[in-house]
Structure 1
Amino acid sequence: MKVEDFKFDLPEELIAQHPLEERDQSRLLVVDKNTGELKHKHFHDIVDYLKKGDVLVLNDTRVIPARLLGMKEDTDGKIEFLLLNRKKLDTYECLAKPGKRAKVGARFTFGGGLLKAEVIEVLDNGNRIVQFFHEGVFEDILDRLGEMPLPPYIKEKLEDKERYQTVYSREEGSAAAPTAGLHFTESLLKKITDMGVEIAFLTLHVGLGTFRPVKVESVESHDMHSEFYSLDEKNAEIINRAKTEGRRIISVGTTSTRTLETIADDKGMVKEDSGYTKIFIYPGYHFKCIDCLITNFHLPESTLIMLVSALAGKDNIMNAYETAVKEKYRFFSFGDSMFIKE
């Protein structure tokens, strides 16, 4: 299977640069995964496609202000660190720009010395292992000094940091938002639960690998990035009870999907679990746990468009994307949404 098979033309003006004023006013393209039929709605209409007994699975990860801008101690040369994942207390794997300044032993300062750092290892992929030094609580300092790590295709400044968080975010650790969840409001979630839809939470900390292009020609040759996930016993029971009773599991986002499909056994049953997943879902994959998916529109030739193609069929998805471009839907993180239904 060729990566170029998942390419589509996207006018730059359709890449959303800022969130809508009201989260649930984004457009919703409903795709029937069996027939390919398309319907044009708005996100608050999602209630028309949910029913009592459904389980909506949400990723409760919270984006940390992971972008740090500082200076090299001995030369005052500028440096940018992007915190990717925590290795141990005060030690993170980071993306460093420019990399030539971030050699082993190099020391840096941020916020006039409020935070200091030293590179202790350079990994094979070019990322750095960095140890930070500070007084007080690291998370508080990061909140003061760090910036939101918006995707590279968003050029405009985000005025309100909370708009790059879901309303149910709580577990800090992501370098990017689980964007399918950005469309939910607290009132919409209440309306959904009042209908008798159950909510289950899991955590997957989104890494920047989600934005990296697939650089091989053949899909099967791609080396998938790794991300941390966790699912507790209480939420596993909610999902398993629904599976046993034949009720639908509706995943919110590709991150929730990857977590569930990593943990699920052949019958779609899950258990309390945590770890790192490198699961790569592309056409030909047999889904074990999820039935439907709420998702955003993804980058051409990305692992995410391959995942949604696995669920709804490549031809159906490529037709849906072509239609979305024609109808001027807004794309990517702050863009519109899609519901892949049975």
Structure 2
Amino acid sequence: MDPLKTESYDYDLPKELIATEAAEPRDSARLLVVDRAAGRIEHARFRDILNYLPSGTAVVHNDTRVIKARLFGHKSSGGKVELLLDSPLPRDRFVALIRGRVKPGSRLYFGEGLEAEVVALHDDGSRTVAFYGGGEPLDFAALLPYLERLGRVPLPPYMNREDRTEDVERYQSVFARKAGAVAAPTASLHFTPALWRRLQERHDTCSVTLHVGAGTFKPVESETITDHPMHSEYYEIPETTRRCLESGHEILAIGTTVARTVEYYARTREPRGACDLFLHPGNPPIRVDHLLTNFHLPKSTLIMLVAAFLGLEETMRVYNMAIEARYRFYSYGDAMLIL
């Protein structure tokens, strides 16, 4: 197995192990604990996570909030379109993915006076669009109320179902604050308010913001993983978190988004910007000590990030063990704690 070859990260997952419904309550999900120092693997419930966290560990979470980024509308011709908002650009422009044939200059209509103009088409399939409300250009803050009323929860495509009312709350972490993500930082979805309070009583906690974009689902198609064009996502790290990261605390990253953000800061010392860091066995972490994460798609940058902590062979061994033990995979699935 070559850790730099994409095919090394492939595995067979029975379809019934793809979680399409969230565990209820949140902390009833299963937790696979990998203790690297002890060479031990344990099976637990997420509610027991505090039994495993080393004392003195600082816990970093992502406070991004998922927006209702899916819009259904029509073209001037009457043809239906589906738009997935990805991220804002300067000068009130936005990156979006559009299902339906469009060309620059096309106008899309979504109701309540909300329109989008297709400004440019890009080779990767994305579009640059500008939004208008009542004929007036909209920036991100002005667009958000329209999305809240007209948009739909952008569930990942592998769930293979439409969003429902309960997803509005369930596809959101209990510490979500800053609107901007189009996909949830899924390791965070397992915390209940009560469990989060208990954790805060025992550990220092701090936040980063990384607005998860649609690029997180982009498959690695190159034969060698280092040839993959890594997507970028906007991040911010407040001063209190920077002080924590520069202390001697061990760090637990709640999710791959936090791991990437913290590691990007450790390399650049930039408190905000566009994070395009690709963590893999050839580019391992230098600041994050422990990782809480879900189980990820084959040949994805996220399973490669897990291998940056565990190594390729151990990652695939643990994943096969999780499949044999019937863990639930992907966004609404179970969790893994790497110590």
The 8 Å contact of residues 104 and 121 in structure 2, kept in 1 or not, is answered as yes
Could you say which residue in structure 1 is the equivalent of 2:116? 117
Structure 1 position 125, deviation (Å): 1.9
Q: Tell me, in whole angstroms, the C-alpha distance in 2 between the residues paired with 1:285 and 1:71.
A: 44
**Superposition pairs for residues 134-173 of structure 1, below 5 Å?**
134-135=133-134, 137-156=142-161, 157-160=163-166, 161-173=168-180
Structure 1 position 284, deviation (Å): 2.5
Please state whether the residue corresponding to 1:45 is helix, strand or coil. Answer: helix
Q: Tell me, in whole angstroms, the C-alpha distance in 2 between the residues paired with 1:218 and 1:51.
A: 36
Q: Tell me, in whole angstroms, the C-alpha distance in 2 between the residues paired with 1:287 and 1:108.
A: 43
**Superposition pairs for residues 31-180 of structure 1, below 5 Å?**
31-34=34-37, 36-73=39-76, 75-88=77-90, 90-98=92-100, 100=101, 102-111=102-111, 113-135=112-134, 137-156=142-161, 157-160=163-166, 161-180=168-187
The correspondence for 1:273, drawn from 250, 271, 277, is 271
> Aligned pair 1:224/2:224, yes or no?
no
Task: State the TM-score, normalized to the length of structure 1.
Answer: 0.92
Structure 1 position 88, deviation (Å): 3.7
Please state whether the residue corresponding to 1:58 is helix, strand or coil. Answer: strand
Could you say which residue in structure 2 is the equivalent of 1:338? 336
Q: Compared with structure 1, are the counterparts of its residues 310 and 272 closer, same or farther at alpha carbon in structure 2 (3 Å cutoff)?
A: closer
> Aligned pair 1:19/2:18, yes or no?
no
The correspondence for 2:7, drawn from 4, 7, 23, is 4
- What letter matches 1:215 in structure 2? E
The correspondence for 1:264, drawn from 258, 263, 266, is 266
The 8 Å contact of residues 209 and 235 in structure 2, kept in 1 or not, is answered as yes
Aligned length: 328
* CA RMSD across the alignment: 1.6
Structure 1 position 36, deviation (Å): 4.7
Q: Tell me, in whole angstroms, the C-alpha distance in 1 between the residues paired with 2:109 and 2:47.
A: 46
> Aligned pair 1:28/2:35, yes or no?
no
The correspondence for 1:329, drawn from 301, 308, 327, is 327
- CA deviations over 1:54-75 (Å, ceiling 9, x no partner): 11000111111000100102x1
The correspondence for 1:214, drawn from 208, 220, 244, is 220
Q: Tell me, in whole angstroms, the C-alpha distance in 2 between the residues paired with 1:238 and 1:271.
A: 13
Q: Tell me, in whole angstroms, the C-alpha distance in 1 between the residues paired with 2:125 and 2:9.
A: 28
Task: State the TM-score, normalized to the length of structure 2.
Answer: 0.93
Q: Tell me, in whole angstroms, the C-alpha distance in 2 between the residues paired with 1:198 and 1:89.
A: 39
**Residue range with higher mean Cα deviation, 291-300 or 31-40:** 31-40
Q: Compared with structure 1, are the counterparts of its residues 36 and 309 closer, same or farther at alpha carbon in structure 2 (3 Å cutoff)?
A: farther
Structure 1 position 90, deviation (Å): 4.4
**Residue range with higher mean Cα deviation, 324-333 or 115-124:** 115-124
Could you say which residue in structure 1 is the equivalent of 2:239? 233
Q: Compared with structure 1, are the counterparts of its residues 316 and 158 closer, same or farther at alpha carbon in structure 2 (3 Å cutoff)?
A: farther
Structure 1: which 5+ runs fail to align?
none
Q: Tell me, in whole angstroms, the C-alpha distance in 2 between the residues paired with 1:90 and 1:287.
A: 35
- What letter matches 1:335 in structure 2? G
Q: Tell me, in whole angstroms, the C-alpha distance in 2 between the residues paired with 1:131 and 1:14.
A: 39
Q: Tell me, in whole angstroms, the C-alpha distance in 1 between the residues paired with 2:21 and 2:36.
A: 29
The 8 Å contact of residues 232 and 275 in structure 2, kept in 1 or not, is answered as yes
> Aligned pair 1:193/2:200, yes or no?
yes
Q: Tell me, in whole angstroms, the C-alpha distance in 1 between the residues paired with 2:284 and 2:301.
A: 16
The 8 Å contact of residues 69 and 182 in structure 2, kept in 1 or not, is answered as yes
Identical positions, percent: 44
- What letter matches 2:123 in structure 1? D
Structure 1 position 312, deviation (Å): 1.2
Structure 1 position 204, deviation (Å): 0.6
Please state whether the residue corresponding to 2:132 is helix, strand or coil. Answer: strand
Q: Tell me, in whole angstroms, the C-alpha distance in 2 between the residues paired with 1:37 and 1:6.
A: 22
Structure 1 position 175, deviation (Å): 1.0
Q: Tell me, in whole angstroms, the C-alpha distance in 2 between the residues paired with 1:92 and 1:336.
A: 33
Q: Tell me, in whole angstroms, the C-alpha distance in 2 between the residues paired with 1:117 and 1:218.
A: 38
The 8 Å contact of residues 107 and 115 in structure 2, kept in 1 or not, is answered as yes
Q: Tell me, in whole angstroms, the C-alpha distance in 2 between the residues paired with 1:7 and 1:33.
A: 23
The 8 Å contact of residues 279 and 285 in structure 2, kept in 1 or not, is answered as no
Q: Compared with structure 1, are the counterparts of its residues 298 and 53 closer, same or farther at alpha carbon in structure 2 (3 Å cutoff)?
A: same
- What letter matches 1:57 in structure 2? V
Structure 2: which 5+ runs fail to align?
none
